[in-house]
Amino acid sequence: MTDDERPTTADRAWLADWRRRIAELYADVRTIVADDPPTAWEAWRRERETLYRTHPQSPVPAAERDAFRAHHWPYDDRLRWTVAVETGPAAPAAGAFGGLAIAPLELPNSGAESHAFDRIGVVRLALPGGDAALPLFWMRGYAGGLFLPFLDATNGTETYGAGRYLLDTAKSADLGGDPASGTLVVDANFAFQPSCAFDPRWACPLAGPDSRIPARIEAGERLR
C-alpha cells in the first residue's frame, strides 16, 4: 500500500463516527425491540440505508451512493430466537461461554488480510422447515467479539454469494443476550451483507462450509 492509499486522519475520524453511529443504532434496537420487534427492525433498516447513502465511510462506492436503495424481505416474527449457546461435544472450543478455546482457526476471507477466530459453540435456529445449527465464533485480537456468519440458498441471487452476517459484535452488530444463562438473541430479520458485497476493496471474514443452512432464509438484507 502506498502513502497515497493510506487512510488520512479525516478518514479515520469518519470511520470512528461510522462505528459510533452503528453502536448507537444497535443500542436503540435493543431498547425498542423488547416491546415491538418490527418497529425496531424498521428503525434499523431506515438508518442503515441513510448511512449507506450519505456517510463518507459507507461501503457503497461513492459514485453509487446517491442512487442506492436498501432491499429487505418483510419482517417475519418466526425468525427471531433466544438461543442457548451449546458448548458440548459439537462445539469443543467453548471459549467465552465456558472453558478455554483449543486453537485459533481462520475463516474464509474476501481479501489478503485474515483474522484468527475461536469456535466457541453452536446455536440452533428453529426454522419453519426444521432446525439448523450454526457454529459461533469469537474473533481473536482486533476488538474481539462474537461472530455469527451464515450461508443459505439465497446466496448468489438475492444475497451476496459468500453469505451474510447475523452477529458481528466487534462492529456493534449485537442484538443482546444473557451471559449468565449462556443465551443470545439471534434475529434473521437483521441479517446483513458484509461490506465486500458492495465493493471488493473491503476485506471481510466470511462464512465457512459448516455455516451453511440448506434452506432459503428470506429475511434481512438483500442485494436486489
Taking only the tens place, the pLDDT of each residue in 104-160 is 676 766 655 667 899 999 999 999 999 999 999 999 876 789 999 999 999 999 999
Q: pTM here? A: 0.89
In angstroms, the Cα distances linking 178 to 83, 101, 102, 184, 194 are: 10, 20, 24, 6, 26
At residue 169, the pLDDT reads 96
3 state DSSP class of 90: coil
Cell numbers found for residue 53: 447513502
Q: Is the pLDDT of residue 3 over 60?
A: no
What's the first-to-final CA gap in the chain, in angstroms?
33
The domain limits of the chain are 3-222
Taking only the tens place, the pLDDT of each residue in 13-41 is 999 999 999 999 999 999 999 899 999 99
Q: Is the pLDDT of residue 73 over 90?
A: yes
83 burial level (CB within 10 Å; 0-12, 13-18, 19+):
buried
Q: Is the pLDDT of residue 82 over 90?
A: yes
| CA pair distance 147, 145, nearest whole angstrom | 6
**Scanning the structure block, which residue is given the C-alpha cell 434473521?**
188
